[in-house]
């Protein structure tokens, strides 16, 4: 049951790529991110009230939240702005590199890590077909993958040092605060915020279902070994590519599919070589995504 729940969670995350890509036709990327995290923060706040959880305000919690939020903010900004310039399939496959990047950041070196990195670089080259000018969206997305990997590395430590639900809640709130000024930068027209079916569905997937997916991950990671979790996460770009093909009509040529396959292979090799399972957090703590 936990593995099946995590598989559904990964499906939801895969669905966020084509959902976001579609909404960006109506709303600028940073404005959409603000609405997404505003909805997520409201849902998390409601969850705290419903289950009567205590929101810790100790200095250690706030400091850890600030550090983790910096990486989370960079990750989502790079990924979402990059998605404006590239396809959702490319974005999903490139973002999946965080599974390989994480052990590099944590200095968990091994022959599998180097093999996975080499395979991933070849696959990335075939997928994005970089020219002298390059593709801005693909390179921004790669920056987002690095930021997400740093965020995951931070959480591995912080969720064992401070109250994890509070860490999660403060990050959601901080993201709303950080993204608020971007509304002035983008200055999207009022009609862009019209509650169309496209925008409501996009927010439902990214701000509603994806927030619930974070909660499922918190539960599952207390039960399923990290190696198996990473392998299940590897299916996310495949979900995104399939959904993008079905809903958005996006296609990849043979070289793109070969590159995508190599990246997915690198993700699997990197997950197998991620090292032993770290100690489980104490009862009452969770690990947000």
Is 184 contained in some domain? Answer: yes
- Whole-angstrom distance, CA of residue 6 vs CA of residue 221: 9
Q: Is residue 284 domain-resident?
A: no
Assess if residue 231 is contained within a domain: yes
pLDDT computed for residue 271 by the predictor: 62
The label of the residue with tokens 């207390």 reads 222
Query: What does pTM read for this prediction?
Result: 0.83
Residue stretches of the chain with pLDDT short of 50: 132, 274-289
| Distant-in-sequence, close-in-space partners of 239: CB < 8 Å, separation ≥ 6 | 10, 11, 13, 14, 15, 92
Dihedrals phi, psi of 47, to nearest 5 degrees: -65, -40
Residue 25 within any structural domain of the chain:
yes
Classify residue 278: in a domain, yes or no: no
Count of domains for the chain: 1
The pLDDT, as a whole number, for residue 262 is: 87
Residue 139 lies in a domain: yes
227 domain-assigned = yes
Predicted local confidence at residue 154, as pLDDT? 86
Domain enclosing residue 226, as ranges: 2-272
Q: What are the distances in angstroms from CA 242 to CA 18, 27, 212, 261? A: 10, 24, 22, 13
Which residue, among 124, 112, 146, has the nearest Cα to 269 in the 3D structure? 112
Measured CA to CA, the distance from residue 285 to residue 229 in angstroms comes to 18
Residue-wise pLDDT tens digits, 200-248: 999 999 999 999 887 777 676 666 655 556 657 767 777 777 788 788 8
Report yes or no on 288 lying in a domain.
no
């Amino acid at each position: 049951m936990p593995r099946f729940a995590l598989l559904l969670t990964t499906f939801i995350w895969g669905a966020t790529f084509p959902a976001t890509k579609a909404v960006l036709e109506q709303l600028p990327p940073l404005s959409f991110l603000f609405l997404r995290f505003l909805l997520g923060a409201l849902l998390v706040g409601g969850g705290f009230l419903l289950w009567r959880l205590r929101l810790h305000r100790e200095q250690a919690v706030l400091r850890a939240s600030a550090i983790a939020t910096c990486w989370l903010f960079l990750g989502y900004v790079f990924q979402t702005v990059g998605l404006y310039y590239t396809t959702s399939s490319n974005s999903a496959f490139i973002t999946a590199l965080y599974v390989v990047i994480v052990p590099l950041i944590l200095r968990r070196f091994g022959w599998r890590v180097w093999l996975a990195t080499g395979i991933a670089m070849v696959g990335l080259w075939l997928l994005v077909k970089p020219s002298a000018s390059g593709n801005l969206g693909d390179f921004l997305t790669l920056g987002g993958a690095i930021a997400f990997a740093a965020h995951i590395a931070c959480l591995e430590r912080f969720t064992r040092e401070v109250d994890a639900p509070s860490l999660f809640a403060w990050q959601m709130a901080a993201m709303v605060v950080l993204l608020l000024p971007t509304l002035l930068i983008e200055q999207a027209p009022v009609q862009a915020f019209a509650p169309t079916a496209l925008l409501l569905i996009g927010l439902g997937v990214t701000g509603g279902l994806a927030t619930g997916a974070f909660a499922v991950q918190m539960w599952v990671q207390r039960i399923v070994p990290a190696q198996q979790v990473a392998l299940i996460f590897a299916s996310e770009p495949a979900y995104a590519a399939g959904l993008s093909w079905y809903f958005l009509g996006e296609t990849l040529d043979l070289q793109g599919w070969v590159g995508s396959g190599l990246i997915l292979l690198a993700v699997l090799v990197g997950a197998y070589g991620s090292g032993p399972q770290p100690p489980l957090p104490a009862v009452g703590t969770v690990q947000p995504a």
